[in-house]
Amino acid sequence: MATGLKLMRAIRVFEFGGPEVLKLQSDVAVPTPKDHQVLIKVHACGVNPVETYIRSGTHKIKPLLPYTPGSDVAGVIEAVGDNASTFKKGDRVFTTSTISGGYAEYALAADHTVYPLPEKLDFKQGAAIGTPYFTAYRALLHSARVKAGESVLVHGASGGVGLAVCQIARAYGLKVLGTAGTQEGQNIVLQNGAHEVFNHREHNYIDKIKKSVGEKGIDVIIEMLANVNLNNDLNLLSHGGRVIVVGSRGPIEIKPRDTMTKESSIIGVALYSSTKEEFRQYAAALQAGMEIGWLTPVIGSQYSLEKVAQAHENIIHSSGATGKMILLLE
């Protein structure tokens, strides 16, 4: 796989386990792009919760060991394989997936998972688009089938996916309510499309939401932590309302009768159930958002490759996220 024996730094996982299994190596061969592939010089890579589940071996996706994590990179095209004519060396791009892994100085990607990065967005922002924005778009437009004028509650709105949902929902004409656990988080949620924000650490915040939305309830809830919030969500919904489960970290007991009286739905969303055609559709809508200016990723904590274990620890265990966590490779 080596290009003239060119070597790079990359994170390698040789066994499933805790954050300590993430090993930084400096002698990893730089891959060569084949048919319909491109090689990207990585400037930044997004860190997503799913990457911690895959690393721990508890996810249904189990890569062959050893592997390099990371799907959302932003950088510059370094080399182009045969028939990957959309791109040329030097193009600024971002990805929704990689073949060789994104926690590395170079990443190989299939050309249909690579998209142009407009000049107005920097590489950090480019690395914050892939999983969060495509998931947010799928949750709202595909799973919830939102219509302009409906209300949406983003339960956990200050992280990467939550802020993406707020921006998209506002652009598509929804009434947007968000929750966050810190004052900083609440401010960021309001600055990124929410009409109202609530502190989900206050014991009576559900009552405040009910008071705000009145008898009708909420049409759509985008749920980041279903194992904590699903019960409350079902009580907040309008008739025909739907909860879209984007994240959950354990079991919860619910009363199925709560779905009967309102004829409400609980719908799970997984980005990688999307077809190639759906990815193209989401990309077209998001590209328009970048051009018009409503798609502006908010960057949260930033880590070097050396600190990747800390990043994996913090994305799961530190509460009150604001913005998108990224690895910096520049």
pLDDT score, position 263: 98
Mean pLDDT, residues 15-20 taken together = 98
Distance CA(146)–CA(213), nearest Å, equals 17
Decide which of 321 and 191 is more confident: 191
126-166 pLDDT, tens digit each = 999 999 999 999 999 999 999 999 999 999 999 999 999 99
Q: What are phi and psi of 76, to 5 degrees?
A: -125, 140
CA distances from 1 to 26, 30, 70, 118, 173 (A): 16, 7, 19, 31, 49
Mean pLDDT, residues 224-250 taken together = 96
For each of the domains in the chain, give its residue range(s) and CATH number, in order of start: 7-128+297-328 (3.90.180.10), 132-272 (3.40.50.720)
Specify whether the CB–CB gap between 51 and 73 falls below 8 A.
no
